[in-house]
């Protein structure tokens, strides 16, 4: 295992300032340059189900019984649009909205017409931008359930697991999440090279992470779907092997969460991951975050090495336009 030690700075930050509770990472919204081409990748190689279209040409994909797990928007450049976070109750959404107002973040409620498109029409929802990078988070409590079984059964998905974002301000960005938005650090990479965080009290090792920027500005790192078994990853490996889909990293095992992983590039070069197994944190009495080695020999427990395409692609939409 990699050498680990505790950071003397910062403090553990286990006393949360936020008075609302997260239920899960809900969905991710991405910009893509060719929606049909990315849909082909996502439904054939990645094995998600198509889940309809929206009025602006957006397309939906689902991994389970909920309305969608990913939204693809047509755009000139690929990138990350927003992250949907499901809270435990409608009361939590109200508390979160008031909390964001008190922070001066100008939260914006979604109109019913947009909630209808997103399958969020049963309760209120709103969006807010964190001030360090301008990243958009969407908060809601209830999404439409789809009763019909998934068509694509080659992979047994559990859920959208997490999203990673590149930033030139890893420390400042993470501290804002932990001090104001109800996230808790699970592990630090090196001296603030990256931080894996979980939206409290979701038990997964991480649901969101800030990682170092390659460009000096915010960028998209990856999104990951949790699968049920090693068979899902093995089939994925062989499905991709020899195809036009680039394999970027893995099969391997992360030393932080313990997850088995495999990353591929979509047609725009953005990173999508299968992940299996993850350290679970209790709501109370959880271990403190570790300071993890970033030495090359400690990068993967199975010795997997990332390929050049693991650099990924994609910007981050940082304004409402």
The CATH number of whichever domain residue 84 belongs to comes to 3.10.180.10
40-74 pLDDT, tens per residue?
999 999 999 999 999 999 999 999 999 999 999 99
CB 178 within 8 A of CB 289: no
CB 194 within 8 A of CB 170: yes
| R_g (Cα) of the chain, nearest Å | 19
Same domain, yes or no: 32 and 8: no
* Widest distance between CA atoms in the chain: 53
Strand ranges in 88-218 using DSSP code E only, listed in sequence order: 108-109, 126-129, 136-140, 157-167, 183-189, 194-199, 208-212
Same domain, yes or no: 38 and 161: no
Q: What is the pLDDT of residue 158?
A: 96
CB 71 within 8 A of CB 29: yes
Of 131, 219, 140, give the one whose Cα is nearest residue 181.
131
Q: Which 8-state DSSP code applies to residue 103?
A: T
Same domain, yes or no: 83 and 228: no
Q: What is the pLDDT of residue 114?
A: 95
Same domain, yes or no: 172 and 114: no
Q: Which 8-state DSSP code applies to residue 297?
A: G
Same domain, yes or no: 103 and 207: no
Domain housing 302: 4-14+157-316
Q: What is the pLDDT of residue 242?
A: 85
Same domain, yes or no: 9 and 31: no
Please count the structural domains in the chain: 2
Of 233, 178, 179, 230, give the one whose Cα is nearest residue 208.
178
**Is residue 164 in some structural domain?**
yes
Which residue ranges in the chain fall short of pLDDT 50?
A: 1-14
Same domain, yes or no: 169 and 108: no
Backbone angle region of 151, left / alpha / beta, with phi > 0 → left and psi within -120 to 50 → alpha: alpha
**Is residue 210 in some structural domain?**
yes
Same domain, yes or no: 112 and 189: no
**Is residue 242 in some structural domain?**
yes
Of 112, 312, 111, give the one whose Cα is nearest residue 211.
312
Of 195, 310, 304, 289, give the one whose Cα is nearest residue 254.
304
**Is residue 152 in some structural domain?**
no
Compute the Cα dihedral for 164, 200, 233, 302 and give only its sign.
Answer: positive
CA distances from 59 to 70, 178, 205 (A): 8, 33, 30
Same domain, yes or no: 189 and 264: yes
Q: What is the pLDDT of residue 10?
A: 45
Same domain, yes or no: 286 and 263: yes
- Residue after which a domain boundary falls, among 140, 172, 207: 140
**Is residue 145 in some structural domain?**
no
**Is residue 105 in some structural domain?**
yes
- Residue after which a domain boundary falls, among 86, 111, 140: 140
Tell me how far apart the alpha carbons of residues 213 and 112 are, in angstroms, rounded to a whole number.
36
Same domain, yes or no: 304 and 171: yes
Same domain, yes or no: 296 and 170: yes
Tell me how far apart the alpha carbons of residues 178 and 282 are, in angstroms, rounded to a whole number.
17
Q: What is the pLDDT of residue 147?
A: 87
CB 39 within 8 A of CB 59: yes
Half-sphere exposure of 167 (CA within 13 A, CB side): 24
User: CB within 8 A of 109, min separation 6: which ones?
Assistant: 97, 124, 125, 126
**Is residue 82 in some structural domain?**
yes
**Is residue 277 in some structural domain?**
yes
- Helices first, then strands: H and E counts in the chain: 5, 19
Q: What is the pLDDT of residue 7?
A: 46
């Amino acid at each position: 295992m990699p050498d680990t030690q505790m950071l003397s700075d910062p403090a553990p930050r286990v006393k949360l300032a936020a008075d609302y509770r997260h239920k899960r990472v809900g969905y991710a919204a991405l910009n893509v340059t060719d929606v049909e081409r990315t849909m082909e990748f996502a439904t054939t190689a990645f094995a998600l189900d198509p889940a309809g279209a929206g009025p602006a040409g957006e397309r939906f994909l689902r991994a389970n019984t909920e309305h969608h797990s990913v939204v693809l928007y047509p755009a000139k450049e690929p990138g990350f649009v927003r992250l949907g976070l499901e809270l435990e109750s409608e009361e939590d959404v109200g508390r979160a909205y008031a909390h964001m107002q008190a922070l001066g973040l100008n939260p914006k409620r979604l109109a019913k017409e947009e909630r209808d498109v997103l399958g969020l029409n049963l309760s209120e929802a709103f969006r807010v931008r964190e001030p360090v990078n301008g990243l958009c988070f969407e908060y809601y409590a209830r999404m439409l359930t789809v009763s019909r079984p998934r068509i694509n059964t080659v992979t047994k998905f559990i859920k959208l697991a997490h999203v990673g974002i590149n930033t030139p301000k890893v420390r400042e960005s993470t501290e804002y999440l932990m001090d104001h938005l109800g996230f808790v650090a699970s592990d630090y990479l090196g001296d603030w090279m990256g931080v894996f965080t979980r939206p409290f009290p979701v038990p997964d090792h991480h649901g969101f992470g800030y990682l170092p920027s390659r460009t000096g500005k915010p960028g998209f790192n990856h999104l990951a779907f949790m699968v049920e078994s090693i068979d899902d990853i093995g089939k994925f490996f062989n499905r991709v092997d020899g195809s036009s889909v680039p394999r970027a990293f893995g099969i391997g095992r992360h030393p932080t969460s313990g997850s088995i992983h495999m990353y591929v590039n979509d047609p725009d070069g953005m990173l999508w991951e299968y992940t299996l197994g993850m350290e679970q944190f209790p709501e109370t009495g959880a271990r403190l975050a570790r300071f993890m080695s970033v030495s090359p020999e400690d990068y993967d427990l199975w010795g997997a090495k990332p390929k050049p395409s693991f650099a990924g692609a994609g910007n981050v939409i940082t304004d409402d336009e």
